[in-house]
Chain A
Amino acid sequence: MNQPLHLIDEFRDPAKAGALIDDIRRLLPRIERARQSPLQLMEFCGGHTHTIFRYGLEQLLPEGIELVHGPGCPVCVLPRGRVDACVALAERPEVILATFGDAMRVPGSHKSLLQAKAEGADVRMVYSPLDALALARKHPERQVVFFALGFETTMPSTALTVLAAAHEQIENFSLFCNHITTAPTIQAVLDTPGMVLDGFLAPGHVGMVIGTGPFRSIAERYRKPMVITGFEPLDILQSLWMLIKQIAAGRAEVENQYQRVVRRDGNAPGLTAMATVFEPHSTCQLRGLGSIGESGVRIRDSYARFDAERRFKVPDLTIADPAACQCGEVIKGAIRPWQCQAFGNSCTPQAPLGALMVSSEGACAAYYNYGNLPELLARQRQAQQGAAAS
C-alpha cells in the first residue's frame, strides 16, 4: 500500500505555506507589541527546531517575528554528571549499556559513551527499548542497562518495556532513568528572569501522550498563548499563524493544530503504563535551567529491581559545563548559538563541546548544519571585536 499523500506530502505544500505567510504579514501590523520590537515565539521542542531549519522557515517569516529555540531536546538538557554516571555504568564488565544513537555522542566531563565503547566498554545502539530487552533475553549472563531519556513522548515505551520485563521475569534488565516532564520545564523557562516570550509552539508528540490539559494550566497561569504543533513545515507555519491570531485578539489559550494525532485526553494506555512504573521525582537537574521541581521521574518502589541506580552503585555527580560552553544560555533563549564564542570554533558537530552541537535537534547543530555558516562566523567575529573595542 502506498503512503497516503494527505498524511505527509500535502503538509509540505508550498502554495499553502505562501497563503499562511501572507496572512501572517497581514495580521502582524495589527499587533501593537510587534511594532515596538519583534514578537518572541518559542518552539519548545527540538523536533520543531529541526523542521524550522531544514525547511528554512525562519527566512520565510516577515520581520517582527523571532523564533526562540527552546530546551525540548532530551540529550541537550542532560547534565554532564549524568553522562559521566552512564559511562561509569557502561565500564562495568558485566554491563551491556544500550541507548539511542544521539545519546552516544554527548560529551561527559572525560568522555562520551562512544569513546567509552572505543576503549572497550560494551555499548550498543538500539532503536527501541524493546531491543534492549531482547539483548537481556539473549545474554542472560550479562546485565543489560537501558539509558532511558526523553520527555513524555518516550516514557510510555520505557514503562511498557519495564512491564514486559516484569511479566517475563527478566531479571538482568534495568533502566538508568533520566526522563523529564514537559510542563515543569516550560514553567522553568517562563520563570527565568528577563525572559520575554509572547507565545509557544507546544510539542505535538508530548501532547499525543499527555493530552491538552497540562498545557492549558500553564497558558492560564502565565497568560501565554500556546498551540500544540505537528512536525511538517505547514504544521509549524499554521501554528505560528494561529499564535499570531491569538495575540492580535488578546487571547491566551491552548489550541491544537495537530488534530490528526493529538487527542484531548492524550494516550490512555501510555499514561496508565507511565503511572504504573514511574512516580514524580522531587527535583531534576537540567543543563542551563538548573534544578527544576517535580520535573523528573523515578521508578516506583514496586519496580525497584529494574532501577539501575538501585541495582548498581551509580555515582551522583554534579559537574559544571566547560567554561567556554554557553549551552545553558542558548537553551534559555538568552543568546543565539553563534553568539557563543565556542560555536564553530572549539565546538563543531564533528567535535562537540556542548550537547546542543550533538543532537540533530539541538539549536547549535541546526545553525551549524543549515545556517549560513560563513555569515554567522563573521557576525560572531564582529561582536567579539565590538566587545573588545568597548
Chain B
Amino acid sequence: MQRPVNITCVIDEDHPVDACLGDWVLVHVGFAMSRIDAQEAEKTLALLAELGEMQQELDAMQSNGGQG
C-alpha cells in the first residue's frame, strides 16, 4: 500500500527530511509520529530471550534437584 504521510513530527535539526529515507516510522491517521528505534527493539527482544534461557536453567535445576 502506498499513501502520502506527513512527516512534521519526525524531523528536527538533527534529523532533517533527507535523513528520513529508509526510516521505519509509526504512522497514525496519516502522520508519522515516531521513528521506530530498531536498537531498542533488539534490546527488548534480547532481554526476553535471556529470560527464556534463565527459565530453562531454572527448570533444569529443579528437575535435577528432584532426581537427586
Contacts and interface: CB of A to CB of B under 8 A. Distances in A.
B8 interface: yes
A123 interface: no
A259 interface: yes
A268 B12 contact: yes
A187 interface: no
A4 B44 contact: no
Interface in A1-28: 1, 4, 6-7, 10-11, 13, 15-16, 18-20, 22-23, 26
Nearest to A154: B29
A160 B6 contact: yes
A208 B31 contact: no
Contacts, number: 100
Interface string B17-59: 0000010101011110110111011111100110110010010
A267 interface: yes
Interface residues on B, range: 20 to 34
A10 to B, nearest CB: 6
Given A209-B33, A267-B34, A160 B8 contact: yes
A260 B38 contact: yes
B29 A19 contact: no
Contacts of B48: 13, 16, 19-20, 234, 238
Contacts of A160: 6, 8-9, 31
A196 B7 CA distance: 41
Given A19-B52, A23-B51, A269-B8, A156 B33 contact: yes
A369 interface: no
Interface residues of A, number: 42
A262 B28 CA distance: 14
Interface stretch (A114-122, A124-132, A303-311, A381-389): A124-132
Q: In this complex, which of B9, B11, B12, B43 has the most chain A Cβ atoms within 10 angstroms of its Cβ?
A: B9
A267 B43 contact: no
Contact of A259 (B9, B24, B31, B43): B43
A234 B45 CA distance: 9
Contact of B36 (A7, A10, A238, A268): A7
Contacts of A15: 52
Contact of A129 (B26, B29, B38, B41): B29
Contact of B33 (A11, A205, A234): A205
Contact of B44 (A127, A128, A260): A260
B41 to A, nearest CB: 4
A261 B26 contact: yes
Contacts of B30: 127-131, 157
Contacts of A18: 52
Given A16-B49, A238-B48, A7 B33 contact: no
A237 to B, nearest CB: 9
Contacts of B44: 238, 257, 259-260
Nearest to B28: A153
Nearest to B4: A130
A79 interface: no
Nearest to A22: B55
Contact of B28 (A11, A26, A205, A260): A205
Given A4-B24, A22-B55, A128 B31 contact: yes
Interface in A247-270: 257, 259-263, 267-270
A18 B34 CA distance: 29
17 contacts: A6-B41, A10-B45, A19-B55, A20-B51, A26-B58, A100-B29, A128-B30, A130-B30, A154-B28, A157-B30, A160-B8, A208-B26, A209-B33, A238-B48, A260-B41, A267-B33, A270-B33
| Closest 4 pairs (CB-CB, A-B) | A128-B30, A19-B52, A259-B40, A260-B40
Interface of B: 3, 6, 8-12, 22, 24, 26, 28-31, 33-34, 36-38, 40-45, 48-49, 51-52, 55, 58
Given A129-B29, A269-B8, 4 more contacts: A154-B28, A260-B36, A269-B11, A270-B33
